[in-house]
A and B are shown apart, each in its own frame.
Chain A
Amino acid sequence: MSGASIRVRVQAEPFDLGAEANAFAAGIAQAGAVVTFTGLVRDNGGQLQAMEIEHYPGMTERAITAMVAEAKARFALEDALVIHRFGRLAAQEPIMMVATAARHRGDAFAAAEFLMDYLKSRAPFWKKEISASGADWVAAREADEAALERWQG
């Protein structure tokens, strides 16, 4: 794989964080910094039986690809990778990961945060928590919306 590409994967299958991070870092010639972030299914108080993630096929890939392109326009990135799962997941399973590569760490950290803030509120995913007491759609948090403001204007 060459550098300066956009890699976006939306999948039901699990992914191997270590293998993905190693393959990502190995594919970049010019980078001095690689940042990865991984989101796991959080089990609040041990009650969670499963998390179901719904998405909007087509728009999801399109929205994330646009976010990565925007991150590349804002930060000096060599490469970026986004993997996001959908379907039924168990507690502690990885939901998604972001990896960014840059010549210096500042751009890699900032781009990873930028991508995470946008993925939270602008990628068409919806989470539902299944527990013994029933199923509840996860509500969007105001803090997530507020996090976008620092990148705007």
Chain B
Amino acid sequence: MRVTVLYFAWLRERIGAPREEVDTSAATVADLVAELAAGSEGHALAFADLTSLRVALDQELADFAAPLAGVREVAFFPPMTGG
């Protein structure tokens, strides 16, 4: 399965790219995070503390246990600071 992974704010800076295309067989977001974190030191650092991260699947907020089946866009970012 091919998904587009997006990064925002300090996560984007830490990983050094705003997006990447990933081929994965991960069943859940947590599985995908484990695959990504194994990919590079920057990724490992960025995903070191999941409690400081949020995830959206196809632009809807989700949690790390959520299944990835059918998802095309996965976005990771810190807690939002709008308003």
Chain A contact residues, CB within 8 Å of chain B: 39, 54, 56, 58-59, 62-63, 84, 95-96, 116, 119-128, 137-140, 144-145
Chain B contact residues, CB within 8 Å of chain A: 6, 8-10, 12, 56, 59-61, 75, 77-83
B62 shortest CB reach to chain A, Å: 12
Contact B82 A96 (CB under 8 A): yes
Q: Which residues of B contact A145 (CB under 8 A)?
A: 79
A-B CB contacts (within 8 Å), total count: 70
Given contacts A59-B59, A126-B77, 15 further A-B contacts (CB under 8 A): A58-B59, A59-B75, A62-B59, A63-B59, A121-B80, A121-B82, A122-B61, A125-B81, A126-B8, A126-B9, A137-B78, A139-B81, A140-B78, A140-B80, A144-B83
A101 shortest CB reach to chain B, Å: 20
Q: Which residues of B contact A122 (CB under 8 A)?
A: 61, 80, 82
Q: Within the assembled complex, what's the spacing in Å between the Cα atoms of A56 and B80?
A: 11
B56 in complex: contacting residue of A39, A56, A120, A139, CB < 8 Å: A56
A116 in complex: contacting residue of B60, B61, B77, B83, CB < 8 Å: B83
